[in-house]
Structure 1
Amino acid sequence: MDKRLSDSLKSHCKITGIQALFLEVKEIRKIKSKMSQQRLSTQQLPYREMERLRQFRRDLLKAIPIGIIAIPPFANFLVIVLICAQVQGGAHPQLAQLLALRSLFSGSVLALNRLRVDHVRALSQVLFLTPYLPAVLLRPRLRSHVLEIQQLDRALLHLGPGQLSGEELRAACYLRGLDSTHLGQAECRAWLEQWLGLSCQLQASDASLLAHSMVLLSLNYGRPPE
């Protein structure tokens, strides 16, 4: 087999498991929101939604052995696997856990400029951006969107999130990936303050971590683990 083709296939296999976590995440968020609003257990879901949750768990398990091979050092990758495992199980990650992954998202295959196109499309869709732009425009669009939010974050930190009206608060949470329809204002404010605590510590080179954190911080917020 041609070496370039072989290398390409190896590269694809290394990060497919990680991509699977995000390809499903938009639909998983909707299902979990429905479960929270209707007070449903997993066993009470319709067949297709129950199967989606089951498949999400299977995708996570596939990502673990692939990722351990793909991203050195082993100890750092183990951290991201355990964070993803907690989120998949319904837990909410802490800022210290996300900050511990900073180097993985700025200098490895998880850096924004090294993500595969289908991964970028999946992230764009989760962050309410069209995934249908030409491949050459997808990555700059995602980076620009994330950095624009980070600039807003710094201005908001200067203003003080306590100064936002209820409507402004929910709009700010929505822009950053949080569905706040099932949350009270105090919970929204607490989440936004947590988000600002992360965003305002990061630099432009951390755009990939910030984009992924919109998923990791919002998916289970305000819901008890299953």
Structure 2
Amino acid sequence: MKIALMIVGLAALVLTVSVVTGPDRFLKGLVAEQIEPVDESLNHSRLDSIVHVLAYKEALLELSKQDSIQLVLDLKASAVYLTIHGVPVFQSLISEQELDAFLNKFSNGVYRKVFQKPLPVAHTYATIVKEPVIEQQAPKTPEEAMAVAYMPDTIQDESVYLYLELANGIGIGLEQSNRHSLTDLAAYLKYKKEVYLRRWSNHWDHKWYQYQPEITARLPKEDLKAIYRALSDSPQVVVYY
């Protein structure tokens, strides 16, 4: 019995240490991924806004080379954009946003290195299908044709939640801004469960707790649906905050 308690206690201690040190290990891994060293000369509070804007402009310039539809998340303007060749073709305003406090602790040098380029998406989860297929039987009479014409579109009622896991480990949750119905609530709970299971799957894959900072933005359901279905199969994201 004592041995079992010792094992349980040791496991709890290891888990606690891994959770506490998770953010530091995440940051070290993020910096280690950069090809060039971080410019420490930028680490001055007076340069914060300048460095952030500079990184944003550099990322947009790089995005202009992409001929497919990509995503821009501008938390300063509370807006999400779809772009082609870096030019916005669609905009949706964010009603609510949440930024992991850890991301605000990035030094200017780290911020520029991480966000000065479009970030590839490694994994996507959505509560709706990318390309819906609607099967209907051809009407045989004028009455059936009229009934089909005025039939409510059930696709419009789908609840929309989208999670983008970036290759560098940052998670971006795009959620519909209203959850009024039981259908919306059920879809939201399923979405959170899938994200939670995905994160714990990553932990087990690495055999160590993996910290994952998150950004959450809430926007109109129809806008979010259009954004997800317009994105390319290999999306990249520009993040600015």
Which structure features the higher share of strand residues? 2
Give the TM-score normalised by structure 2: 0.23
Higher-RCO chain (CA-CA 8 Å, sequence separation at least 6): 2
Give the greater-gyration-radius structure (CA): 2
Give the TM-score normalised by structure 1: 0.25
Which structure features the higher share of helix residues? 1
